[in-house]
Structure 1
C-alpha cells in the first residue's frame, strides 16, 4: 500500500484550480489524467481531492467500500436550497428511509403502466411541434422539443397532469436558470448565506417559488380530492401518499407533507432534465449518422406499435437501445455528481485515501477512456450490441452504481427508448447548417453550449428513409 502523491495546489490556496474546474470540468479532468495517471491528487483550500480514473477504483468507492464514504455535504446543502431534503439530496438514515418508501413507485409494473403515458406524451407533442405532412420539414430547437416531451411525461407520471404550453415554457426557463445558479454556487469558495444578498439570489428565489408552487398546487388538489372521497391514485404522487414504511411506526410510517413536496420537486427536476438532455444528444447523433438512423427505422418497422405491450416491445429494439447507450457514453447527462467524502482512512486502488478527503469519479473521463472504448470520440453503437467485447465493470455508468444508483433508471431507460422510437420512426433528422454537434457544457447536466438545431422531415409510413439527394435538397431549402 502506498501513500498518496503530493497534491497539486496552485497559489493561492488552490483557488485558480477551482476556477479552472468551474470553467471546464471535463477538460480539467482529462488534463489531470494525462499528466498524473489513474489517481490525481489536488488540494483546494484545506480540502484534499482525489480524481479516480479506473473503473475498478470507482467500484471500490461506490460499491465495495461504500460504507466508508458518504456524499459530500456541501453540494447536498446547495441542492437542498432548491430541491429540499429528498431522496436525491439526503444521506444516511433519512435517505435510507425515503429510498425504501419510494422504491415501489418505480417497480416494473409501475413502469409498464407509465409506458402508455410516455407514448401518449411523445405522440401529442410530436403532432403539435413537428411536421405532419409527408415531405414537410422544419428546423427544430432540439433541447426545447425534448424538454417539452419529457416534462409532459414526468407531470403525467407524477400527477396525472397535462401542462399548458405557457406553463411548460415558464417552468422550463426556471429550471434552466436554477441549474446555472446551482452550478455557480457549487464552485464558490464558501457557501452563500441565505439571508444575505449574493449574485443570482433574487432570480433563484423567483425560479424556486415558481417550480415549487406548481408542484404544491398538484399536491393540494389531490389532497382536496381525497378529502371528497377520491382514491389516492395510481400515479407516483398517489403511491407517495399511500406508501408506508414497514420498518417504522406511526406517525413516521408515511412520508410527511414536506417530504412529499421535496421528493416531487426532486423527481420532477431530475426526472425530466436528464432524460431531455440524453435525448437531445441522441437526436444530434442520429442527424450526424443518417445511415445508423435508417437501420434503427428498419428495426422498428419489424416491431408492433402497441402501447399495451410497449415496454416489452421496446426492449426488443436492440439497435435503438444501443444507440441511446452510446449517446449516453459520449454525452453522459450527469458528469460530475459522483463525489464522496472518506469517513476514515480507506485503501483504494493501491493507495490510502485519508479520512476527510473528497473523491471525485469523472464519468466523462471513464466513458472516453480508449482503454475501455477504442476510438472513444466515435459514435459506435455496436459497443452495446450482443457479441461486443465485455466492458470492465463500472466503465459505463450513466446512472451510477451501488446503493445510490439512480432510483428512476428503469423509468428513464424505457422513457427515452419509447420517445426516441416514435421520433425516428416518423422523421428524418439532419443538422441545420452545421457539420458537428455543439461543444458540451456542464450545468448540473451536460447541455450543448449552443442551441442544437435539427431539420425534421416527415417520412411516409411505408417509406422510412430519405435518400442523400433528398436530404441535401431539403437542407438547402
Structure 2
C-alpha cells in the first residue's frame, strides 16, 4: 500500500495566502464547492484561514467511508454544535453518542408508517384551507409569495402533527422568529467562532435572544398545557412524552421535549417548505413536466382529495419532488469532524477540531459522473429503471448513514399530497423579469422569497 499523504498534500485551490477560501465560503459557497470539485475531483481541501481545513467530498465511496463504514471515527463538528445549540439544544441534530442513540430509539415509533398515514388527513385539510385562501384573494392577478405560503402551510401541518395544535395564529410571530434564529445561526457558523458571546448584550445578540424567547414561549406553553391535561392528541408530542427508556424507565424532561420538538418543528417545516418552493419554480420553467404531473394527479384521483393510500400511484409526482431535491437540496451541506485518526482518500487525518469533512449535497447532486447533464431538470432520473445501480450515497437530500433524517417519510408524504392538491386546482407561473437565486443559509431558500402568479384552473377552482 502506498504511504498516506499529509493534509498539506491534499488537492485543492490555494486561495488567499492567509485566508484561503474563507471569503468565498461566506459569500458564494455554492459556486466555491462546484468549481472546486470541477477542478480537483471528488476530494478537495479548502483552507479556511491559516489553521482550519474543510475536506469536501462528492464521491459516493468517500461519503460511505465517512457516514457508514467508519462513522465511529467522525462526529458532529464541535463548532456546528456550539453554533446551533441556542436554537436546537441537545436535540437529534446536535446530540451524539449514547444519548443520541437513546433519543432516536425513543422517537422512532412516532415515525412508523401507520402513524404517518394517520397524519395525511390533517395535511390535506391544511392544504385545502390554503387553496380556499388563494381562491378568495381580491386581486388574483397580483403575485403571491409562494415561499411564504409554503412556509405558512408546512408550519400549520407540523404544528398539528407535532402538537395537535393550530399554530397558524402565531405563524407570523413564529415564522419571523425562526427566520432571525436561522440567519443568526448561519452567521455564527460562517464566523468560525468569531462572534460576541451570548452574555454580551450586543444589538445582534438582543434580537437573537428575543427570537429564541418567542420560540421557547410557544413550545414550552404547548408542553405545559399538555402536562396539565388542558390539551390532548394522538401526536408526536404525545408519543415523545409517553416514551420510556427500556433500560432505565426514564421519560423525557421538559427541556428534552423542548429540544426535540424544536428540532422537529424546524426540520419539519423549513426544509419541506423550501423544497416545495423550488419545485413550483421548476415546474413553472418546465410546463411539459407540470402537464404530466397534473395528468397523473387527475388520472389517479379523478378530482377527489388524495389520501395516504394514493401515494404509491402518484409515482411521477414523487419523482418530481425527488428531482427538485437533487437540484435544490434544502439541507445542502453536511459536516463531520474526525474524532479518531483515519485515512481518507489516501490522506492521513488526525482527530482534530481544525479539520471538518463536508458533503455539499448541492455539488454532489451535480457530479456529472453520477448525474449526466446535471443542470437539467428531469424527474425520469428517479424512475425505477434509471435509479437501478445508482450508488446509494449519490443522492443525500435527507443525509445518510445512521443519522438519516428521521422525518424523511413524513416529508415525502406531505410533499406528494400538497403537490397533488395544488395541481388539481391551480397553475403557478413565474413573474416575468423576476430573477430567482438560491440563498445558502442553514437551509437553501429562494433569496428574497418567490413571487409567482397563482392562476385557478377552473372558474370555481
TM-score, structure 1 normalization: 0.89
List runs of 5+ in structure 1 lacking aligned partners: 465-477
Comparing 197-206 and 52-61, the one that deviates more: 197-206
Counterparts in 2 of 1:345-384, with a 5 A limit?
Answer: 345-356=341-352, 357-384=355-382
Q: Is the 8 A contact 2:73 2:338 kept in 1?
A: yes
> Which residue does the alignment assign to 2:106?
101
Alignment partners' CA distance in 2, 1:245 and 1:404: 20
Deviations 1:285-324 (A, max 9, x none): 1111122111111111122379997222023211111110
Q: Is the 8 A contact 2:306 2:417 kept in 1?
A: no
Alignment partners' CA distance in 1, 2:65 and 2:144: 43
Alignment partners' CA distance in 1, 2:126 and 2:304: 12
By how many angstroms is 1:138 displaced? 4.6
Alignment partners' CA distance in 1, 2:437 and 2:70: 35
> Which residue does the alignment assign to 1:417?
416
- Kindly indicate whether residue 30 of structure 2 is the aligned counterpart of residue 26 of structure 1: yes
> Which residue does the alignment assign to 2:236?
236
Alignment partners' CA distance in 2, 1:111 and 1:122: 17
Q: Is the 8 A contact 2:296 2:314 kept in 1?
A: yes
By how many angstroms is 1:137 displaced? 4.9
Decide which of 66, 76, 82 is 1:71's aligned counterpart. Answer: 76
By how many angstroms is 1:224 displaced? 1.4
Decide which of 289, 292, 297 is 1:292's aligned counterpart. Answer: 289
* SS of match in other structure, 1:302: helix
Shift in CA distance, 42/163, structure 1 to aligned 2, threshold 3 Å: closer
Alignment partners' CA distance in 2, 1:74 and 1:446: 20
Alignment partners' CA distance in 2, 1:309 and 1:110: 17
List runs of 5+ in structure 2 lacking aligned partners: none
Shift in CA distance, 371/10, structure 1 to aligned 2, threshold 3 Å: closer
> Which residue does the alignment assign to 2:5?
3
* SS of match in other structure, 1:216: helix
* SS of match in other structure, 2:384: coil
By how many angstroms is 1:95 displaced? 1.1
Decide which of 320, 324, 329 is 1:327's aligned counterpart. Answer: 324
Deviations 1:305-355 (A, max 9, x none): 79997222023211111110111111000112x111112222333433332
- Kindly indicate whether residue 59 of structure 2 is the aligned counterpart of residue 57 of structure 1: no
TM-score, structure 2 normalization: 0.92
> Which residue does the alignment assign to 1:451?
449
Alignment partners' CA distance in 2, 1:309 and 1:428: 18
Query: Considering only aligned residues, what root-mean-square deviation do their CA atoms show, in Å?
Result: 2.3
Counterparts in 2 of 1:52-451, with a 5 A limit?
Answer: 52-128=57-133, 130-131=134-135, 137-165=141-169, 167-191=170-194, 192-198=196-202, 200-225=204-229, 233-246=233-246, 248-250=247-249, 253-304=250-301, 310-336=307-333, 338-356=334-352, 357-388=355-386, 390=388, 391-434=390-433, 438-451=436-449
Alignment partners' CA distance in 2, 1:452 and 1:285: 12
Shift in CA distance, 389/235, structure 1 to aligned 2, threshold 3 Å: closer
Q: Is the 8 A contact 1:63 1:403 kept in 2?
A: yes
Comparing 29-38 and 258-267, the one that deviates more: 29-38
Alignment partners' CA distance in 2, 1:428 and 1:459: 6
Q: Is the 8 A contact 1:131 1:457 kept in 2?
A: no
Q: Is the 8 A contact 1:56 1:349 kept in 2?
A: no
Comparing 142-151 and 35-44, the one that deviates more: 35-44
Alignment partners' CA distance in 2, 1:379 and 1:307: 29
